Amino acid sequence: MNRNQLSARIEAVGIIAAIRVSRMDDALFAANAVIGGGIPVIEVALTVPDATKVISQVLRDAPGVIVGAGSVSDVEAARACLDAGAQFLTSDGFDSDTVKFAVQHDVVVIPGALTPTEIISAWKLRPDFVKIVPCGLIGADHYIRSLRAMFPELRMIAAGSVNQQTAFDYIWAGATALGIGRELLPRGAIRHREPGQIAELAGRFLKSVTKARNQLAAG
């Protein structure tokens, strides 16, 4: 898929499963479990040991799944992730050089931002989305709704403190999609190798996104 197709697919799914664990085997288990639960968009944080190897292996093992790199804070890291096969790049903050690098290489990029000033600076560089993080700490869905009013063309990924209770509200407020980590991939379910629990959570989150979108479409 090209950049536009990948971006459209991420938006259609509506959820990016964010993997942040301390072991490579845990990361691979988490990826397989969430894919089995019906979420085919995965972000592997560079804080995961051997993160680029995880990205490459998931891509080999699960054709058709979209796998990206998270916590990408500089161009050198971005280049290493692309060499490993990463299909999109995300960060928890805004680094203009990384966004420019991704855009120049026609790669889906999702910089992190929080304030209106950061959002404007990021959006000017023409990324595919802007990740609003950690939105749960400064108004949650109310903040997303305010940003939507200020920036109606902005494609927002709501991330940070997204849970089963708030997922619907974020989409209803105007988020394009959600970035979900621990609430989708609980540490206990990973530690005890319980893919069924993760699959159940994935289904619940997907239903929340669908329900909110359907209600928005219905007016």
What is the enclosing helix (H) or strand (E) of 19?
strand 15-19
- This prediction has a pTM of 0.96
DSSP string, 156-194: EEEESS--TTTHHHHHHHT-SEEEE-TTTS-HHHHHTT-
Coil, strand or helix: which one is 114? coil
The answer to whether the beta carbons of residues 159 and 186 sit under 8 Å apart is no
Element (H, E) at 179: strand 177-180
* From the candidate CATH numbers 1.10.1760.20, 3.90.1010.10, 3.20.20.70, 1.20.1250.20, the one assigned to the domain spanning 3-213: 3.20.20.70
Domain residue extents for the chain: 3-213
Could you tell me how many residues make up the chain?
219
* SS3 call for 40: coil
Q: What does the pLDDT look like over 158-195, one tens digit per residue?
A: 999 899 999 999 999 999 999 999 999 999 999 999 99
Q: What is the pLDDT of residues 15-36, one digit of tens each?
A: 999 999 999 999 999 999 999 9
